[in-house]
Amino acid sequence: MSFLNRPARNEIDLVRGRQVMTRRPIPPAIRAATEKGVAIEQGRAIVQSERIRGFERVASEGMHAVGSLSREEAFWSRHAPHAAARFQAIADIAAMAIADIVSEAGRD
């Protein structure tokens, strides 16, 4: 420790081997404000998680609905081939409407 000046070396020699406690206790107002801030952030995280689950449900329901429409469109196209283009158009319009609903759910 020759690189330290003499007073610093003396202070280090005095506290060597002992734990130095120079911290003051945290004031209750700061502790309460910190706990409140942490609780607010945890609450926000819960809200965001629920929003994600809600959006996931909307998207999943949309995919199931589009799949059902596609199966029905294929069924009717096989049974009435002369109207296949109309069935495809109806299914496409319905799928676009479902996609709009899903995209709106993500914006709320």
Domain contains 36: yes
In whole angstroms, what is the distance from residue 69 CA to residue 66 CA?
5
Domain contains 77: yes
Domain contains 13: no
Structure confidence at residue 93 (pLDDT)? 97
The answer to whether the predicted template modeling score (pTM) of the entire model surpasses 0.75 is no
In whole angstroms, what is the distance from residue 66 CA to residue 99 CA?
9
State the residue range of the domain holding 98: 24-107
Which residue has tokens 């996931």? Answer: 56
Per-residue pLDDT of the chain (108 residues; tens, 9 = 90+): 455 555 555 555 555 555 555 677 888 888 889 999 999 999 999 999 999 999 999 999 999 999 999 999 999 999 999 999 999 999 999 999 999 999 998 786
Q: How many domains does the chain have?
A: 1
Domain contains 5: no
Residue 97's SS3 state is helix
